[in-house]
Amino acid sequence: MALAVGVGLLQTAPEFLEEEHLASISLRFLLWVVEAPVQLLALSATFNHGVKRQRSPTRVLVTSLLVAAVIGVLFALAFVFVVEGLLGLELDGEGPLSLPLAAGFGAMMGIFIAGIWGLAFVSPHVAEQTQLRALETEQLRFEAEQLRVSSEMARLRSQLEPHFLLNTLNTIAGLVTQNPREARRLIGCLGDLLRDALQGQEEMQTLDQEVTWLRRYAEILESRHGDALRFDWDIPPDVGGVLLPRLLLQPLVENAVQHGALCRTGGGRVGVRASLQETGPGLQLVCTVTDNGPGLPTSEPRAGALGLHTVRRRLELRCPGSVLQLRSSSEGTSAVIEVPVPPGGPT
């Protein structure tokens, strides 16, 4: 109602300057006051109907303008008929208004009210809806990214586990005829490894769980290669609770054995070490897998490059800010993983 009165005053104020009759101005002001609420109700109903039917914004706008124009024409014609036809009053000092002129004036007034309604009510609603759609789009993008990460992690694990299983079975196959008792023992070790792998479906596990699994894996390898391979472990208790992607270190250990320690004449050694180091913003876990092999080749990437790619990609996906570095010399190779520890320290 306040909007109708305000619009009526703005519309009729210039007519005072033109020195028209007060009665004529009052009648036109009455038309505004009566028509504006009806127009606003009709426009709101049209807009809500279009939103519920999920009409396009352009279609809702055109429909609203048509509704406003039709109502404006009907109001103007009815007003002229009542005021001039039935009451005998003059709306214009120059004589009775023609019906086409009244209809045109009514349509223009209806569209004018629709414009004010759009600025006052529709624009805030459209802005709010736009913001909601942006939030929904961001939420969908986030969910899609989560699904992509989960899918890629599953793919990386599917590459990792069969690779390890095949190599382990080959190890055991080599012992079946040479040392059947040792082969049976290693089959038991492999069963323990597979049981542990099947028990936990979470992507992350503690370093203690990872090392327990790796020690069983190392036991199989040491048995296979006898005095040619030895493992050294240095895992202090305070780092055992840090979370890592499952089997993250396994490709590094496998590379250290296959492409490093076993290439050293006279006995190869693999070291697995972990420590907590202070950085500027907090702590980081440093895991190092070393071997005393001949070092990295300077030519084409070796076969273990796939394992390194897998480790890097899993760190990117699950441990942002982590790095994997390789340090090589004629004395051996070190693969170093640095993982930021979340605030609060290890679990």
- Ordered by where they begin, the domains of the chain are 23-87+101-155 (no CATH), 162-198+205-294+307-341 (3.30.565.10)
pLDDT of residue 48: 82
DSSP 8-state secondary structure symbol assigned to residue 345: -
Mean pLDDT (10-residue bins), the chain, 347 residues: 58 56 70 80 85 78 87 86 76 72 84 82 78 84 70 57 71 79 82 70 83 87 83 93 87 88 89 91 91 79 66 85 91 93 70
Residue 186 corresponds to which amino acid? L
CB-based contact 62:46 (threshold 8 Å): no
* Orientation angle between helical segments 99-117 and 2-17, nearest 10 degrees: 130
Here the tokens at position 78 are 């009815």
**Helix, strand, or coil here: 265?**
coil
pTM: 0.54
In angstroms, rounded to a whole number, what is the distance separating the alpha carbons of residues 229 and 220?
11
Residue 99 sits at the vertex; the CA angle it makes with 98 and 105, to the nearest 5 degrees, is 95
In angstroms, rounded to a whole number, what is the distance separating the alpha carbons of residues 269 and 60?
76
Distance from the Cα of residue 197 to its chain's centroid: 29
CB-based contact 229:268 (threshold 8 Å): yes
pLDDT of residue 276: 93
pLDDT of residue 47: 84
Mean pLDDT of the chain: 80
